[in-house]
Structure 1
Amino acid sequence: MAELERDRVREYLAGHAQPTLDDGARAHYRERIAAQLKARNAVLVAHYYTDPEIQALAEATGGCVADSLEMARFGKNHPATTLIVAGVRFMGETAKILSPEKWVFMPTLEATCSLDIGCPADVFSDFCDQHPERTVVVYANTSAAVKARADWVVTSSIAVELIDHLDRQGEKILWAPDRHLGNYVRERTGADVLCWDGECIVHDEFKAKGILELKALHPEAAVLVHPESPASVVEIADVVGSTSQLISAAQQLDNPSFIVATDRGIFYKMQQLMPGKTFMAAPTAGNGATCRSCANCPWMAMNGLENTLAVLEDANGCGQEIHVDPEIARQALVPLDRMLAFGAELKRR
Structure 2
Amino acid sequence: MKRHGEEIVHAQMPSTMRSNGNKRAMAKMNNFLSTNTVVCPPELLRQAQAAPTPRVAIARAGAALPMEAARDATQAGIMEPVFTGERALIEAEADKLDWDISAFELIEAEGEEESGKAAAFACGEGRADVLMKGHLHTDVFMKSALNRDAGLRAGKRLVHIFHIGHPSGGVLTISDAAVNVSPNMETRQDATREVVRLLHLLGNDRPKVAFLSATESVIPSVPSSVEASELAAWAKAEIADADFSGPLAMDLILSPEAVATKKLIDDPVAGQADAIIVPDIVSGNAVFKSAVYMAGGCAAGIVMGAAVPILLTSRADPPAARMASAALAAIVTAANK
TM-score range, shorter chain: under 0.3
Q: What TM-score do the two structures reach when normalised by structure 1?
A: 0.25
Of structures 1 and 2, the larger Rg is shown by 2
Give the TM-score taking structure 2 as reference length.
0.25
